[in-house]
Chain A
């Protein structure tokens, strides 16, 4: 199958391209950027006049709930949501049931995703067995099975010795360790940022120090072990400050931020809105601005969805008893583009944070247009607007605080491995 995407504005941040260029696809690969190869006959031509053609998005932290009970979603439902969101590569988190701590679970996930052919699903495998924070997982076997990173999910290690050993052992195989920095003692059963709003609402608070203490500890261990550490889902200005210093000393560390953290603050939990119950919690405007600044200057190189789909019941309870998390695959691009509208960073930089930025952090070849590379493409219409409606979401999880928000740049086409997996005018595919 030959496809030509013509008349679009092609933005490929990895290669510094932002110009009117056509893209030509043969089979699963990009065969030309600009003029078609000699004798190339497209079977299908996508007219992208007025639209932006960029590499398919790379989301380095999404929970797909598979294997699991299915109530919160599965690879089928969530890759459908990813395709609608222009995402063609997902690194799924290990907090499944059972946990991704054996090659068998990795193979199961990869096999299911390959069959669906809707988006590339890669895995961050468990750092410790059962994510229990006590015994090391069989990292070499997990790597051999295809794990692209190691992570303890949303369960930070409590034992610093185990953390040290885990970092050292992972470094033996050159694996990146993704850490969610949090000191569980300082978290102290909290459910909202320890600030003015939580004080007024009487919600048990999580101080920013619960994160900054952990970042300091993790940085010290990264320096000591020489491990390649990636911080997942930063939320506090103090963490950004430490990260900036660490980067200046050439420590091999990096970080991502969840897209919602760049738009929401503690104010949004007013009225006990459980859809704004997230972990780490939404913090102050100053924290949000520091995160935005770090995304703008590249200190934070990746924006992720931190996708956490939940069934309705999980959010139907008094705020502290609800499950934290947002179903974020379908708003990752929208929230990133909104940063451009709000003048935080230019368009191609913003797209870098959801394409080559996250790909480079894990050494993945995706997130860029290369001749001979896989044809993963996201096309969106910067002139059009769309409104997020919960009942129109593809994800099994409808838990979003963005219901009714108007966004720019709806995804019009998503191609994964040269195959059209989403088009806006004919939805849903398959």
Chain B
């Protein structure tokens, strides 16, 4: 009961999306609606993503407490394609350095009549916190909070998978690497299970798999070849250099030898398996260049789909608020 109540902060009383904080608590219908909406915005072959007037006159604020040029840029592009005005705040370098609290920052920006916050923060739960304190009528979209969630990244991955594989039901998906610290993996696992795939696997050494990973609804493998056997989708995660310092891994070389994806190891997967990566890739650490640039890699397509998916999420949230009487 408590869980439903908490997650419902994302939904209005009609079950429509008010905020987009996590995949948890969202049903298959809603995820499918996001994918369908994204499809309507997506680029047709050889043509750019459509620009639509859906959010004309609206103010969207990128509130980034953690620097990320790539994610911020795709959100900004998505907002502009929806004809919104965009404010960018890089808070890590301005307000908090002067002792301003997160709530102070929020109130100040709200005073600029922003209707949507795109939030990235280094602490898990930050997007929930901001959503709880945001004024009514303001939507919060989580662009990554700590190790918790990165739901738009997960949805663009789902979009990519659907484009290439069609139906989710028969799929086996393997996520390889640093599950412990990955908000992307957590959101992907939730999305894949909600969309009803056959199996989600995580592959990595014990130090990078959470102790209670099974509670996420996955099968755990420590051997890459075994874990890749007969999968339809391989998702490689980025390995942060600092993992070597915390005694989590001995070296990048050993990691690559055990968990790096090569064409040879990819042979274990289905012949038509696709390879994904949220980027940016550490070539020679997570995967060989020949895989990253090879025929099965859909990594660059993920990036372009990201804009359509973020347009979908933004427009669905704003629509929900637009229909609520003031």
Q: Which of B6, B102, B210, B213 makes the CB contact (< 8 A) with A318?
A: B102
Asked whether any CB of chain A lies closer than 8 Å to the CB of B101, the reply is yes
- Chain A 232-267: CB-based contact to B (< 8 A → 1; otherwise 0): 000000000000000000000000000000000001
- Chain B 146-169: CB-based contact to A (< 8 A → 1; otherwise 0): 111100000000000000000000
Please state if A201 and B125 are interface contacts (CB–CB under 8 Å).
Answer: yes
Please state if B183 and A272 are interface contacts (CB–CB under 8 Å).
Answer: no
- In the complex, number of A-B residue pairs with CB atoms less than 8 Å apart: 83
Q: Which of A271, A313, A319 makes the CB contact (< 8 A) with B124?
A: A319
Asked whether any CB of chain A lies closer than 8 Å to the CB of B172, the reply is no
Please state if A271 and B7 are interface contacts (CB–CB under 8 Å).
Answer: yes
Bound-state Cα–Cα, A205 to B210, Å: 9
- Chain A 186-216: CB-based contact to B (< 8 A → 1; otherwise 0): 0000000011101111111101000000000
Please state if B124 and A201 are interface contacts (CB–CB under 8 Å).
Answer: yes
Please state if A272 and B147 are interface contacts (CB–CB under 8 Å).
Answer: no
> Whole-angstrom distance from the CB of A194 to the nearest CB of chain B?
6
Q: Which of B9, B123, B133, B212 makes the CB contact (< 8 A) with A319?
A: B123
Q: Which of A205, A207, A320 makes the CB contact (< 8 A) with B125?
A: A320
Asked whether any CB of chain B lies closer than 8 Å to the CB of A317, the reply is yes
Asked whether any CB of chain B lies closer than 8 Å to the CB of A41, the reply is no
Chain B interface mostly helix, strand, loop or mixed?
helix
Please state if B2 and A321 are interface contacts (CB–CB under 8 Å).
Answer: no
Name which residue of chain A comes closest to B181, CB basis.
A202
Interface residue ranges of A377-394 to B (CB < 8 Å):
none
Please state if B215 and A316 are interface contacts (CB–CB under 8 Å).
Answer: no
Please state if B2 and A270 are interface contacts (CB–CB under 8 Å).
Answer: yes
Interface residue ranges of B21-38 to A (CB < 8 Å):
24
Interface residue ranges of A274-323 to B (CB < 8 Å):
313, 316-321
Q: Residues of B within 8 Å of A, CB-based: how many?
A: 31
Asked whether any CB of chain A lies closer than 8 Å to the CB of B5, the reply is yes
Contacts of A272 in B (CB 8 A): 6, 124-125, 128-129
- Enumerate 28 A-B pairs (CB-CB under 8 Å) in ascending A order: A194-B211, A195-B211, A196-B212, A196-B215, A198-B212, A199-B210, A199-B212, A200-B24, A201-B148, A202-B145, A202-B146, A202-B148, A202-B149, A203-B124, A203-B125, A205-B210, A205-B211, A270-B2, A271-B2, A271-B3, A271-B5, A271-B7, A272-B128, A316-B103, A317-B102, A319-B123, A319-B125, A320-B123
Name A residues whose Cβ lies closer than 8 Å to a Cβ of B. Answer: 194-196, 198-205, 207, 267-268, 270-273, 313, 316-321
